[in-house]
Amino acid sequence: MIGIDEIGLGEQAFQRLGLAEGTEVEIAQARPPASLEFVRRKIDGEALGDGEISAIIRDVASHRYSHMEIAAWLVACAGFMTTQETLALTRAMVDVGNRLHWQSPLVVDKHCIGGIPGNRTSMIVVPIVAAHGLVCPKTSSRAITSPSGTADTMEVLANVDLPEERLTAIVAEHNAVLAWGGRIGLSPADDVLIAVERPLRLDTMEQMVASIISKKVAAGSTHLVLDIPVGPTAKVRSQSDAVRLRKLFEYVARHMGLTVKVVFTDGAQPVGRGVGPVMEARDVMAVLRNEPDAPEDLRDHAVMLAGHVLDFDPAIEGGKGYARALELLASGAALEAMERIIAAQGACERQLVPGQLWDEVKAVHAGRIAAIDCERIARVARQAGAPMDKAAGIDLLVKVGGMVRAGDVLYRIHASTQTGLDFARDLASEDPGYAIA
Amino acid sequence: MIGIDEIGLGEQAFQRLGLAEGTEVEIAQARPPASLEFVRRKIDGEALGDGEISAIIRDVASHRYSHMEIAAWLVACAGFMTTQETLALTRAMVDVGNRLHWQSPLVVDKHCIGGIPGNRTSMIVVPIVAAHGLVCPKTSSRAITSPSGTADTMEVLANVDLPEERLTAIVAEHNAVLAWGGRIGLSPADDVLIAVERPLRLDTMEQMVASIISKKVAAGSTHLVLDIPVGPTAKVRSQSDAVRLRKLFEYVARHMGLTVKVVFTDGAQPVGRGVGPVMEARDVMAVLRNEPDAPEDLRDHAVMLAGHVLDFDPAIEGGKGYARALELLASGAALEAMERIIAAQGACERQLVPGQLWDEVKAVHAGRIAAIDCERIARVARQAGAPMDKAAGIDLLVKVGGMVRAGDVLYRIHASTQTGLDFARDLASEDPGYAIA
C-alpha cells in the first residue's frame, strides 16, 4: 500500500530508474522533450536534418515520448522520408544503443525481412558458416506479427536468452551463436518504436531499413546477406518495390560501413513444411541431419543463402561459396556445429513435440495447388497459439504445384488448447489459404 | 478500496457508462475497432470514402480509439486530405453529436479562427445582432492554446455553463446567448480529437474547417460570418493561404447547407488593449458603453463584422448592415441587449479586477512601433496565468505605429501569483514581442 508522501511504481519503472524500494525521490512535472518541435516540422512536411533526427531518437530511447507522440512521428515519417533521413535515423538508432565488438575483421550475418511462414533458414545458414570458420554472432528477434521468429524456434532446442559475456564467449569458442537480441540492447530506440508500430501495424520500407541495418551495425557485423522474398502475399509484392527496397538497403548500409548482398527469393508460398516453433525446429534439424524427407525447398533456400555468406570469405574462390555450403551440410559438419552451439547455449531438456490436439484441412475438390496465401497461413498458425504456444502451428502436407484429390489433406493444424484449435479451424474454414486450380 | 471481484473506475468513466456504483458488470477485452483498417489505408496514402470516415468518427466519438490511434489518424490526415474527405469528416462529426433546432428560418453566427490576442469581437457583435432582432445562439469554446477564449472572457461577466433547456429559453426571450459550447455535446468527436491535437499542436486547415463548420451546423446556424485574420504572426500568414482556406470553408459550408461569408481582417497585431479574460471583458464593456477611451480597433473590427451579420437579414437593404450596427451600438441598444443577456445567464456577482501584481515592459530605445508579435504576446499572457487565472494577462499601452521614447511602457503584465508574474516577465525580457524601428 502507498501512504501519504509515497509513490508506487511498476517493476519496469523500478528497473529503468535503477532505484530500490524505499529510495527518497523528488518528483516534478516532466517537460515535453524539445525534439517534439522537430516532429511537428516533420508533420508539416519538412525533411529533417541529422541533428534533429538524432535528438528525436535520443528522446525516444530515453522513454521521453508518449505513445501518442511516437505514433505522430512514425506516421509523419510514413508520409515521406528522404534517403538522407533514413540514413540519419539508422545512425541515430545505433548511437543510442549498445554495440558489440569482435576481434575478427570479417563478421558475417544473414537476415530475412520476413513475411514467409516456415522460412527458418538462419538456423541452417549459421551452423554451415560456423563450420566453415567464419564469425557469425547471430542475434534474432522473437515474432512480432508472424507465427514464429528465429529466436522462438531456436528456443525449442536451446536457451536463447544469453547475457553479453556468455554470447561473446560462445562466439569465441564456436564462431557462432543463435541468440535472442532483446537482452543486449542493440537498438533500444527501435524497441520503443516497435511498441507503437505493432498495434498500428506500421511497416514502412524506411523504418524497416533503419531497424535492420542499425541492429546489424550495433551487433558488429561487417558483411550481411539480406533475403528479400518477393511474392503476391509476401511483404514485397512487385519487382519494382523489391528494387526500390534493395537500393535503400544498399545506400544506407554503404554509408554505415556495412557490406550488404541483397538476394531476391521466391516468396510465392511458405517455405518448408512446419509453421510454428516446434515444427520449424523439426524441419531445420531434418535438413541438418540430411534426412531423406527433409523439406527440399528449405534446404535449397538455406544452402543458397549460406553460399552467398561464404562468398564473403576472401579465401573462397569467387562463386564457390555455394558448393562449399553444400559440402559442409552433406558431410555432417554443419550438424556438428549446430550441436556444439546448442550445447554451449544450453540444450533444452524437454523434448518438445507438435501439439497433441489437431485437425486436418482438406481439399474441397481435385486439382493442382495454384497458390498458397502466406498471410492466411500465418494467421491460422497464430490463432492456433503460435508462437507463445511453441507446439502450436501448421504442418503443410502439399505445396504449390502438388496435385490433390477431393478430401486430401492440405495441412494439419496443431494446438495445445481446444480454444486455439477451434479459433484456427474457424479461420481456416472461412478460407484455407489454398487455391486449387 | 477495491475488493476481489470488484473494479474501480474514474468519475469520467462512471459518467460515460451511466452506471451507479455497485452495479454488477462483466468485463471483456476490447477488440480494436474495425475502422482502424481505414486509418491504416489513410497512412498508406489513400483517400477514404464517406462511409469509412464516418466509421472512424463514430468510433472516435465512442471513445474506442486510444490517443496513439487518434494521433495516427490526425497525422495521416495532416499529410493530405481531399476536399471530399474534409466534407465527409464534417458531416460525420455532425452526425455523431447533439443538434440544436430553432423556430427561426434565419439563425446567424459569427466566428473567428483565432490566433490574435484580445480579438474579443463576439461579445460586441452578438448584442448588436440581438438588439436588431436576429436569432444568434452563440456557443463558444474555452481557450485551447490562447490566453482566453470567448467563453473564458464572458465568464468574467456571467455564468456560461448553461444546460440546453436554459440556453434555448434565453434565446427565445432575448434572441441571443453567449454560452460555453462544451456542455451541449455539439461535436463530441471533435472534443476527443482536440485532446490529441492540443499536446501535439496539430492545427491543419482541414481539421479546422471540419471542426468549425460541424459545430455551427450542429448548433442550428443557417448563416455564418467567418473572420480570418491574416498577418505575419497570425494563424494564416499569406494571402494565398487565406484564399485556399476561404475556398475550403465555402465548399464545405455550401454542401452542409450553411451560408458563409468569409471576411479577411488585419491580423498584424493584437486587437484592443486587454489580453486575458478580465482585461478583455473590460475592453468589451467599454466599447458597448461608448466610453471615450474604449479601444477603437476592437470597436471598428466588431462593428464591421456585425454589419456583415446584419446584411444576412433580408429586411436590410444591401450593404446597410454596417450603418445599422453602428447605430445600435451608438444608441446604447447593444449595451442594453448585453445587460439583458448577462442577467438571463446569471450575472457574475464578484467584480473581477486585473491582477494586483504587475510589472511594466519598457521600450529600450526610442522609435516607432513597427510590429507586435501575436504569438509572443499570447505566450507572455499565458505564462502570467491566463486563462485559468482570469485576472492575469496583459494591458497593451501602445500599438503598431505608435511613437515611444526609451523607457516608455510598452505593456503592463498583470498576475495574481508571484510565480506567474515572474514567468511572464522572464519570457518578456528574452523578447518583449515588440519591434521598434
Structural domain total, chain B: 3
State residue B110 phi and psi, 5-degree precision.
-140, 135
Same structural domain for residues A285 and A420? Answer: no
Check residue B30 and give its pLDDT: 65
Same structural domain for residues B115 and B256? Answer: yes
Q: Is residue B45 domain-resident?
A: yes
Residue from the list A76, A196, A199 with its beta carbon closest to the beta carbon of B75: A76
Mean pLDDT, range A2-7, rounded to an integer: 73
Q: Which of B95, B126, B141 is the last residue of a domain?
A: B95
How far is residue B433 CA from its own chain's centroid? 23
Mean pLDDT, range B91-118, rounded to an integer: 96
- Please check whether residue A341 is in contact with residue A125, taking contact to mean a CB–CB distance below 8 angstroms: no
CB-CB under 8 Å, A79 with B76: yes
- Please check whether residue A212 is in contact with residue A247, taking contact to mean a CB–CB distance below 8 angstroms: no
Which residues are paired to B361 by β-bridges? B411
Maximum pairwise Cα distance, chain B: 73
The angle formed by the CA atoms of residues A259, A263 and A264, to the nearest 5 degrees, is 150
Check residue A142 and give its pLDDT: 87
Q: How far is CA B305 from CA B106, B125, B251, B302, in A?
A: 17, 7, 21, 5
Residues of chain B with pLDDT > 70: what percent?
98
Does the annotation count A203 as an active-site position? yes
A137: left (phi > 0), else alpha (psi -120 to 50), else beta? Answer: beta
Taking 3-state DSSP, the helix, strand and coil percentages for chain A, each rounded to the nearest 5, stand at 45, 15, 40
For residue B72, list chain A residues with Cβ-Cβ distance below 8 A: 71-72, 74-75, 200, 202
> Does A67 contact chain B (CB < 8 Å)?
yes
Per residue in B261-271, pLDDT (tens digit) is: 999 999 999 99
The residue range of the domain holding A411 is 357-436
Check residue A30 and give its pLDDT: 65
Helix (H) or strand (E) holding A192: helix A188-200
Check residue B23 and give its pLDDT: 78
Check residue B129 and give its pLDDT: 98
CB-CB under 8 Å, B69 with A32: no
CB-CB under 8 Å, A72 with B75: yes
Q: Which of A47, A68, A95 is the last residue of a domain?
A: A95
> Does A78 contact chain B (CB < 8 Å)?
yes
Same structural domain for residues A333 and A430? Answer: no
Same structural domain for residues A136 and A90? Answer: no
Check residue B182 and give its pLDDT: 86
For residue A44, list chain B residues with Cβ-Cβ distance below 8 A: 78
- pLDDT for A426 beyond 90: yes
Mean pLDDT, range B171-190, rounded to an integer: 93
Q: How far apart are CA A92 and CA A112, in angstroms?
A: 23
Per residue in A265-319, pLDDT (tens digit) is: 999 999 999 999 999 999 999 999 999 999 999 999 999 999 999 999 999 998 8
Same structural domain for residues A276 and A234? Answer: yes
Residue from the list B39, B40, B200 with its beta carbon closest to the beta carbon of A72: B200
Q: Is residue A269 domain-resident?
A: yes
pLDDT bin (cut points 50, 70, 90) of residue B3 is confident
User: Strand, helix or coil at A35?
Assistant: coil
Check residue B154 and give its pLDDT: 97
Per residue in B198-254, pLDDT (tens digit) is: 889 888 999 999 999 999 999 999 999 999 999 999 999 999 999 999 999 999 999
Lowest mean pLDDT among A269-283, B12-26, B79-93, B172-186: B12-26
CB-CB under 8 Å, B76 with A71: no
| The amino acid at A244 | R
Check residue B280 and give its pLDDT: 97
Domain CATH for A49: 1.20.970.10
Q: Residues 6 or more apart from A215 whose CB is under 8 A from it?
A: A139, A181, A186, A187, A190
C-alpha cell at B226: 467567418
Query: Residues A50, A95, A203, A408: which is the catalytic one?
Result: A203
- pLDDT for A1 beyond 70: no
Q: Is residue A310 domain-resident?
A: yes
Same structural domain for residues B129 and B216? Answer: yes
The Cα of A173 is separated from the nearest Cα of chain B by a number of Å equal to 46
Residues of chain A with pLDDT > 70: what percent?
97
Q: pLDDT averaged over chain A?
A: 94
Q: How far apart are CA A130 and CA A171, in angstroms?
A: 9
C-alpha cell at A137: 554472432
- pLDDT for A21 beyond 90: no
For residue A78, list chain B residues with Cβ-Cβ distance below 8 A: 43-44, 76
Q: Which of A65, A73, A75 to mutate to test the interface with B (most CBs of B within 10 A)?
A: A75
Lowest mean pLDDT among A21-35, A76-90, B28-42, B190-204: A21-35
A160-167: Cβ within 8 A, 24+ apart: A160/A345, A162/A345, A164/A98, A164/A100, A167/A100, A167/A137, A167/A139
Same structural domain for residues B205 and B75? Answer: no
Check residue A5 and give its pLDDT: 75
Domain CATH for A364: 3.90.1170.30
For residue B197, list chain A residues with Cβ-Cβ distance below 8 A: none
- Please check whether residue A65 is in contact with residue A38, taking contact to mean a CB–CB distance below 8 angstroms: no
> Does B67 contact chain A (CB < 8 Å)?
yes
Same structural domain for residues A128 and A183? Answer: yes
Query: Residues B50, B95, B191, B203: which is the catalytic one?
Result: B203
Mean pLDDT, range B381-410, rounded to an integer: 96
pLDDT bin (cut points 50, 70, 90) of residue A87 is very high
Same structural domain for residues B280 and B409? Answer: no
Per residue in A306-357, pLDDT (tens digit) is: 999 999 999 999 889 999 999 999 999 999 999 999 999 999 988 889 999 9
Check residue B351 and give its pLDDT: 81
Q: Is residue A291 domain-resident?
A: yes
| The amino acid at B64 | R
B344: left (phi > 0), else alpha (psi -120 to 50), else beta? Answer: alpha
Q: What is the DSSP-derived secondary structure letter of residue B193?
A: H
Q: Which of B323, B345, B367 is the last residue of a domain?
A: B345
Lowest mean pLDDT among A10-14, A85-89, A146-150, B210-214: A10-14
| The amino acid at B242 | A
Q: How far apart are CA A413 and CA A354, in angstroms?
A: 10
Range list of β-strands (E), A299-429: 357-362, 367-372, 393-396, 403-404, 409-415
> Does A60 contact chain B (CB < 8 Å)?
no
For residue B75, list chain A residues with Cβ-Cβ distance below 8 A: 43, 71-72, 75-76, 79
Same structural domain for residues B171 and B131? Answer: yes
Per residue in B278-324, pLDDT (tens digit) is: 999 999 999 999 999 999 999 999 999 999 999 999 999 988 999 99
Q: pLDDT averaged over chain B?
A: 94
Lowest mean pLDDT among B36-45, B117-126, B199-208: B199-208
- Please check whether residue A369 is in contact with residue A404, taking contact to mean a CB–CB distance below 8 angstroms: yes
> Does B29 contact chain A (CB < 8 Å)?
no
Same structural domain for residues A47 and A167? Answer: no
Domain CATH for B249: 3.40.1030.10
CB-CB under 8 Å, B79 with A76: yes
Residues of chain A with pLDDT > 90: what percent?
86
Residues of chain B with pLDDT > 90: what percent?
86
Q: Is residue B120 domain-resident?
A: yes
B28/B230: higher pLDDT: B230
Per residue in A155-214, pLDDT (tens digit) is: 999 999 999 999 999 999 999 999 999 888 898 999 899 889 988 988 899 999 999 999
C-alpha cell at B423: 514567468
Q: Is residue A63 domain-resident?
A: yes
Same structural domain for residues B162 and B140? Answer: yes
Q: Is residue A271 domain-resident?
A: yes
Q: How far apart are CA B223 and CA B258, in angstroms?
A: 6
Q: Is residue B390 domain-resident?
A: yes
Check residue B28 and give its pLDDT: 63
